[in-house]
Amino acid sequence: MVAGGVAPPLVSFFVYVKICGLTDPGHVDAAVEAGADAIGFVLTRSPRRVTPERAAELAARVPPEVLTVGVFRGEDPATVREAALAAGVRAIQLHGRHPHADFMALKDLGLTLIRAVDAEADLRCGAYDESLLLVDAPRAGSGEPWDWSAVRGRPTGQWLLAGGLSPANVGEAVAAARPWGVDVSSGVESAPGVKDPALISAFVTAARAAA
């Protein structure tokens, strides 16, 4: 309390929401309607992988205010460039320990670059000339919750928390880590690789409520 017995105003913040691993037009529409800020298409080895051509079809359904992201893991910059251009996405996410040179090699595309790493990496957003940082679980892609509080206060800039998030726990995760945004894939699925529109909507609602 402050002088006069008046409590200071609560500080609130907006949670940016990315829904990743979409493969179906109806699920893309559901994510847009739910208010997602970004939608990810996996263009690397994964049960949720789509071809660049399929990603282009899906991305065409997304309005310009929603960021479309091509997700890669371990591919060389030339391969990433070719696939991203074919897919027509507006952002590239490089997952894992890609060197700084990989990001620099893609800068000329003018796309948003996202660096996705675990908590042991350099957590300064922009350190590799990326626009956004994504901090994932130690076992990326496992869908298992982890100690989100371990990264609280460590990442800088615009960064997203990922790893084991779901509508049921995203509020807890946001409170524990205080991220700028959140990213979810398996946590909004009814079966491996199959998104559930109701869960997508519930996740966006819960993430925003956590703010």
Q: For the chain, 211 residues long, give each residue's pLDDT as a single digit of tens.
A: 333 444 444 444 689 999 999 999 999 999 999 999 999 999 999 999 999 999 999 999 999 999 999 999 999 999 999 999 999 999 999 999 899 999 999 999 999 999 999 999 999 999 999 999 999 998 766 677 889 999 999 999 999 999 999 999 999 999 999 999 999 999 999 999 999 999 999 999 999 998 7
Q: C-alpha angle 46/51/56, rounded to 5°?
A: 125
The verdict on residue 8 lying in a domain is no
Instruction: From the candidates 20, 102, 118, 125, give the one annotated as an active-site residue.
Output: 20
Instruction: State the pLDDT at residue 141.
Output: 65
Instruction: Give 131's contacts (C-beta < 8 A, 6+ positions apart).
Output: 91, 112, 113, 114, 125, 158
Question: Which one, of 34, 82, 85, 79, lies nearest residue 59 by Cα?
Answer: 85
Instruction: State the pLDDT at residue 142.
Output: 65
The verdict on residue 100 lying in a domain is yes
The verdict on residue 7 lying in a domain is no
The verdict on residue 197 lying in a domain is yes
Instruction: State the pLDDT at residue 145.
Output: 85
Residue 54 region by backbone torsions, left for phi larger than 0, else alpha for psi between -120 and 50, else beta: alpha
The verdict on residue 1 lying in a domain is no
The verdict on residue 4 lying in a domain is no
Instruction: State the pLDDT at residue 4.
Output: 41
Do residues 39 and 184 touch, judged by C-beta distance below 8 A? no
Judging by DSSP bridges, how do beta strands 189-191 and 67-73 pair with one another? unpaired
| Number of separate domains in the chain | 1
Instruction: State the pLDDT at residue 105.
Output: 98
Instruction: Give 5's contacts (C-beta < 8 A, 6+ positions apart).
Output: none
Domain encompassing residue 180: 14-210
Cα within 13 Å of Cα(15), Cβ side: 25
Q: 37 an active-site residue?
A: no
The verdict on residue 5 lying in a domain is no
The verdict on residue 56 lying in a domain is yes
Measured between alpha carbons, how far is 32 from 63 in angstroms, rounded to an integer?
A: 8
Instruction: State the pLDDT at residue 7.
Output: 40
CATH of the domain at 100: 3.20.20.70
Instruction: Give 3's contacts (C-beta < 8 A, 6+ positions apart).
Output: none
Instruction: From the candidates 102, 118, 136, 183, give the one annotated as an active-site residue.
Output: 136
The structure tokens 């298992």 sit at 144
pTM: 0.91
Round the CA-based radius of gyration of the chain to a whole number and report it: 17
Q: 125 an active-site residue?
A: no
Query: What are the pLDDT digits (tens) for 81-124?
Result: 999 999 999 999 999 989 999 999 999 999 999 999 999 999 99
